[in-house]
A and B are shown apart, each in its own frame.
Chain A
Amino acid sequence: MIEFKLPSLGADMDQGTLLEWKVSPGDTVRKGQVVAVVDTSKAAVDVEIWVDGVVRELLVHPGETVPTGVVLATLDGVGETLLAPGATARPAPPPPVARIAAAHRISPAARKHAEELGVDIGYIAGSGTDGGVTVEDVERAALAARAAPAATAAEAGPRRPVTPAARKRARELGVNIETVTASGPGGAMLLEDVERAAAPAAPAAPAKDHQGEMRRAIAAAMSRSKREIPHYYLAETVPMQSALDWLTAVNAGRPVTERLLMAVVQLKAVALALKKFPEMNGFYRDNTFQPAAAAHPGVAISLRQGGLIAPALHDVGDKPLEQLMRELADLVKRARAGSLRSSELSDPTITVTNLGEQGVAAVYGVIYPPQVALVGFGRIAEQPWAEKGALSVMPAMTASLAADHRVSDGHRGALFLAELRELLQQPESLK
């Protein structure tokens, strides 16, 4: 049996509210398939499954808020279920007792603490060695249980076709979806239906304070970063004439729908530089650095209503710029619309931020834990340039690195920035 847990959604998203299951018991699922939609402080997240299998039991119901690591559903691996052809009977879900009995290891201290707090230990996912439940896990579960309103019978009842946007809005507006008249195709409930139903009651039901939640989430992650990570900062001036000329030439022959932005050139350069500097790319966990196999830069995207999010652009080092451009445009669009995939939130191996657009000369970032580095780009502007005894005018920008001193030293950081600078002098090599 496979336990499907709520994956980590980043340091500032340690819990989520299940909005909707996209699968039912008995369904066959493929690795990477979206199986659930979970609301977090930053976005509605399409949660992807990490394994092929057959859904056995859904343990968490829509409306419930659970911390990351909690088992959402159980699955049977491929080949584990051997139903007779045509059989419709599904194996009976194991009784709750079995779930508790099958609970992972738990330390005596954690067990005692769970009893004191009245937390069901069968429900806690362990983060300790071999999945053992620690005192911290118990406390996290207790906090989440207190924060989460009990799921109502109606919410856990039979599924009606409801679009994710409608379900999310219903929660925000405090509308019971069972009472809403659906107008969509096939009796599906649409966003408009929910808003219509909420209209008379709207003033009485304040919308969920997403802004406040996001602010608190960012505060927690950034405080943790500054508390735990000994940052060091380096900056390098990067001449940008070659990159600008190259980009202008490339874009000149292209319709507006196929043009590239400097942002993708910068991202590609970062990803290629990381190949030689693996100590900037990965995670610091349990007092150990775990380098990542590929570079998935988290792209810092500011949200129009305030706040920011830095979802991953996957495998940047291995993709041509045209593909990166399409993927970046899609990522920005979905981030602003509040709809991201779980892998985009859990996978970033480094963060790249570009505040040059707002006109600042340089940015010295706060590392997003458990990552170990952040690259910042300032604005590209003409400046006086002295080279080989002559003075000229050169468009240039400041590239900065904030890195974790537990993992790397300033010398390596300096070489990384020098590599980044060199790569940006040969833009055709970044294609």
Chain B
Amino acid sequence: MNEQELRATVIATLKAIAPEVEEGDLRPDKPLRNQVDLDSMDWLNFLIGLHEKLKVDIPEADYAKLVTLGDVLAYLQSKIK
């Protein structure tokens, strides 16, 4: 999966939870949960969605590494390889 495809998958997963999200409005370097207003249930559903689509396991201990959209993309890229 290339970077474009991964990004598209992540955005689609996010939009399934927060349909109002506009990809163009997302700053890749700002905390994602502040930009999108994801509560802990939304966040968990987002990770479950990524887990199901990408078959990656995301331990709870790694949540701290997943702050911005850029973090999420880099983390997933490293897991898929």
* A binding-site residues for B, Cβ under 8 Å: 248, 251-252, 255-257, 259, 261-263, 302, 304-305, 328-329, 332-333, 357-358
Contacts and interface: CB of A to CB of B under 8 A. Distances in A.
Interface residues of B, number: 16
B59 A252 contact: yes
Contacts of A302: 39
Contacts of A259: 44, 60
Interface string B54-81: 0001111100000000000000000000
Top 6 A-B pairs, shortest CB-CB distance: A357-B39, A251-B60, A256-B51, A256-B47, A261-B40, A332-B41
Nearest to B40: A261
Contacts of B59: 252
Contacts of A357: 39-40
Contacts of A305: 20
The binding surface of chain A is classed by DSSP as helix
Interface of B: 18-20, 39-41, 44-45, 47-48, 51, 57-61
A328 B45 CA distance: 12
B51 to A, nearest CB: 5
A268 to B, nearest CB: 16
B60 A329 contact: no
Nearest to A255: B57
Contact of A329 (B19, B45, B51, B58): B45
A357 B48 CA distance: 19
B57 A263 contact: no
Given A255-B57, A256-B57, A304-B20, A263 B40 contact: yes
Given A256-B44, A256-B51, A329-B41, 12 more contacts: A248-B60, A251-B60, A252-B60, A252-B61, A255-B51, A257-B48, A262-B40, A263-B40, A305-B20, A329-B44, A329-B45, A357-B39
A330 to B, nearest CB: 11
A304 B44 CA distance: 16
B36 to A, nearest CB: 10
